[in-house]
Amino acid sequence: MNHFLDINKTSQSDLRAMIDNARAMKDSRNGRPKGTPDDDQPLAGHMVALIFEKPSTRTRVSFDVGVRQMGGQTMVLSGADMQLGHGETIADTARVLSRYVDLIMIRTFEEQTLLEMAEYASVPVINGLTDRTHPCQIMADILTFEEHRGPIAGKKVVWSGDGNNVCASFIHAAGQFGFDLTFTGPETLDPEKLFVEEARAKGVNINIERDPMKAVDGADLVVTDTWVSMHDPQSARERRHNQLRGYQVNAALMDRAKPDALFMHCLPAHRDDEATSEVMDGPHSVIFDEAENRLHAQKAIMRWCLGA
């Protein structure tokens, strides 16, 4: 059973195959209208359940379009539609859905919901996001970097801001793809120690540097994410802004990175908070390539899950 739950739970060879497959599928669609099907239809006859306990733009659209381009069909379900884990148990939901569909993607809050879904489903399960990790996003980011700058192995990535779920998956990817990562942010928002130690054990450098200017010296890639969630109360938003204001990615910070350094943000962004519009719209930025590549990376992930 090929579940795609986290980057650190998937073999390096399989991850590399997915990135290469994503690039090939993207190249094959060059110049083709977005609504037309792929020449290869590996998901023909397959039904994919897309479960959203959290709202989504990029995840929902990219998975839905990707399934359709590959010849499959989707069933989009919200947390309100299902009352996941409130009425029927997650285990029973997984068993029932497995009788109807060939693949399940779930975007949820608690990691345990994802793990229980995968444990009891008899079809592959994909992690579309949890509060702890966001592996599909980072697969798109790896694809994006390599499109622009070649292999990411041995490069220096700097994460500025909150050591959140996206940061966690970037640390997983450092261990699996062989690049170094420096985290710069306040101590109260450090990434999870377990993930840092696991990546270091694979021979890559995972550094923590409180001074963002020092952190980005020699960086090949600078990455940030939103400081606040749409679910955070106003008091929490103000507290996070106070903690993170010094870690904004602006022109002065990018000037300390390599001249050809890239800038990424997984979106949605609060412009001129975590990153300035000057950087987001500037020559280093590849944020919209990154957003597009969610489609191609996730198509490759789905194919891998189904052995298609």
At residue 265, what are phi and psi to the nearest 5 degrees? -150, 130
At residue 207, what are phi and psi to the nearest 5 degrees? -110, 150
Where are any strands of DSSP class E within the chain? 47-52, 73-78, 103-107, 125-129, 156-160, 180-184, 206-208, 221-224, 262-265
* Residue 134 falls in the annotated catalytic set: yes
- Pick the catalytic residue from 69, 137, 248, 298: 137
* Residue 3 falls in the annotated catalytic set: no
Name every residue whose Cβ is closer than 8 Å to that of residue 167 and which is 6 or more positions away in sequence. 159, 161, 183, 191, 225
- Pick the catalytic residue from 136, 167, 266, 305: 266
- Length reported for the chain: 308
* Residue 68 falls in the annotated catalytic set: no
Q: In what order do the strands lie in the sheet with 103-107?
A: 73-78, 47-52, 103-107, 125-129
- Pick the catalytic residue from 294, 296, 298, 303: 294
Say if residues 160 and 253 touch (Cβ distance below 8 Å): yes
- Pick the catalytic residue from 46, 58, 134, 172: 134
* Residue 294 falls in the annotated catalytic set: yes
The DSSP code for 92 is H
What is the sign of the dihedral through the CA atoms of 35, 40, 44 and 46? negative
188-193-196-198 Cα dihedral, nearest 10 degrees: -170
- Pick the catalytic residue from 102, 162, 220, 225: 225
* Residue 137 falls in the annotated catalytic set: yes
* Residue 271 falls in the annotated catalytic set: no
Active site residues: 107, 134, 137, 225, 266, 294
